[in-house]
Amino acid sequence: MAHKITLIPGDGIGPEVTSAARRCIEATGVKIEWDEVIAGQAAQDQSGNILPENVLESIRKNKVALKGPIITPIAGGFRSVNVAIRQALDLYACVRPAKSYAGVNSSYKNIDLVVIRENTEDLYAGIEFQEGETQTRDLIQLIEKYSQKKLRLDSAISIKPISKYASERIVRFAFEYALKFGRKKVTAVHKANIMKFTDGLFLKTAREVAGEYTAKITFEEAIVDNMAMQLVKVPRNYDVLVLPNLYGDIISDLCAGLVGGLGISPGANIGDGIAVFEAVHGAAPKYQGLNKVNPTAMILSGVLMLRYLREDKAAERLEEAVKDVLAEGKFVTYDLKPNRNDPTSAGTREMAEAIIKNLK
Looking at residues 84 to 123 of the shown chain, list those that interact with ligand NAD (rule: CB under 6 A).
none
Smallest separation (angstroms) from ligand NAD to the CB of 349 = 13
Smallest separation (angstroms) from ligand NAD to the CB of 179 = 28
**Chain residue at closest Cβ approach to ligand NAD:** 282
Question: Which segments within the chain are labelled E, that is strand?
Answer: 3-8, 32-36, 64-67, 93-99, 112-118, 128-129, 157-158, 185-190, 218-223, 240-243, 266-271, 274-279
Pick 140 or 300: Cβ nearer ligand NAD: 300
Contacts with ligand NAD, 210-239, as mask; x by CB under 6 A: ------------------------------
Measured over the CA atoms of residue 62, residue 66, residue 67 and residue 68, the dihedral's sign is: negative
Pick 94 or 222: Cβ nearer ligand NAD: 94
Smallest separation (angstroms) from ligand NAD to the CB of 346 = 12
Smallest separation (angstroms) from ligand NAD to the CB of 323 = 18
Q: Is 335 a catalytic residue?
A: no
Contact of 202 with 236, CB cutoff 8 Å? no
Assess 293 for contact with ligand NAD (CB under 6 A): yes
Pick 44 or 136: Cβ nearer ligand NAD: 44
DSSP codes of every residue in 226-265: HHHHHHHH-GGG--EEEE-HHHHHHHHHHHHHHTT-GGG-
Q: Is 165 a catalytic residue?
A: no
Pick 244 or 260: Cβ nearer ligand NAD: 260
Smallest separation (angstroms) from ligand NAD to the CB of 278 = 5
User: How far apart (Å, rounded) are the C-alpha atoms in residues 351 and 328?
Assistant: 12
Pick 170 or 297: Cβ nearer ligand NAD: 297
Choice among 122, 199, 249, 335 that is catalytic: 249
Residue among 248, 266, 271, 282 that touches ligand NAD (CB under 6 A) = 282
Count the neighbouring beta carbons within 10 Å of the beta carbon of residue 11: 25
Choice among 225, 272, 312, 342 that is catalytic: 225
Residue 37, class by beta-carbon neighbours within 10 Å (0-12 exposed, 13-18 middle, 19+ buried)?
A: buried
Measured over the CA atoms of residue 41, residue 47, residue 50 and residue 53, the dihedral's sign is: negative
Selection from 256, 258, 337, 264 nearest residue 298 by Cα = 264
Looking at residues 253 to 272 of the shown chain, list those that interact with ligand NAD (rule: CB under 6 A).
262-263
Assess 245 for contact with ligand NAD (CB under 6 A): no
Choice among 124, 177, 213, 334 that is catalytic: 124
Contacts with ligand NAD, 319-338, as mask; x by CB under 6 A: ----------------x---
Q: Is 199 a catalytic residue?
A: no
User: How far apart (Å, rounded) are the C-alpha atoms in residues 171 and 186?
Assistant: 9
**What are 96's strand-pairing partners?**
115
Residue 128, helix vs strand vs coil: strand
Assess 140 for contact with ligand NAD (CB under 6 A): no
Q: Is 177 a catalytic residue?
A: no
Choice among 92, 191, 213, 334 that is catalytic: 191
DSSP state of 124: G
Chain length of the chain: 360
Contact of 211 with 188, CB cutoff 8 Å? no
Assess 16 for contact with ligand NAD (CB under 6 A): no
Contacts with ligand NAD, 41-80, as mask; x by CB under 6 A: ----------------------------xxxx--------
Selection from 326, 278, 226 nearest residue 59 by Cα = 278
Amino acid type, 70: I
Residue among 268, 284, 299, 318 that touches ligand NAD (CB under 6 A) = 284
Smallest separation (angstroms) from ligand NAD to the CB of 72 = 3
User: How far apart (Å, rounded) are the C-alpha atoms in residues 294 and 104?
Assistant: 12
Active site residue ranges: 124, 191, 225, 249
**Contacting positions for ligand NAD (CB under 6 A):** 17, 69-72, 82, 262-263, 278, 281-284, 293-294, 297, 335
